[in-house]
Amino acid sequence: GNSVTQMEGPVTLSEEAFLTINCTYTATGYPSLFWYVQYPGEGLQLLLKATKADDKGSNKGFEATYRKETTSFHLEKGSVQVSDSAVYFCALDITNTGNQFYFGTGTSLTVIP
Amino acid sequence: KAGVTQTPRYLIKTRGQQVTLSCSPISGHRSVSWYQQTPGQGLQFLFEYFSETQRNKGNFPGRFSGRQFSNSRSEMNVSTLELGDSALYLCASGEGSSYNEQFFGPGTRLTVL
| Window 20-49 of B, Cβ < 8 Å to A | 31, 33, 35, 42-45, 48
Give the long-range contacts of residues B71-76, CB within 8 A, separation 24 or more: B72/B25, B72/B29, B72/B30, B72/B32, B73/B22, B73/B23, B73/B24, B73/B25, B73/B32, B74/B22, B74/B23, B74/B25, B74/B32, B74/B34, B74/B49, B75/B20, B75/B21, B75/B22, B75/B23, B76/B20, B76/B21, B76/B23, B76/B34, B76/B46
By Cβ distance, the residue of A49, A97, A100 closest to B101 is A49
> Is A43 within 8 Å of B106 when comparing Cβ atoms?
yes
How confident is the model over A50-94, as pLDDT tens digits?
988 999 999 999 999 999 999 999 999 999 999 999 999 999 987
Per-residue pLDDT tens over the stretch A30-54: 889 999 999 987 889 999 999 889 9
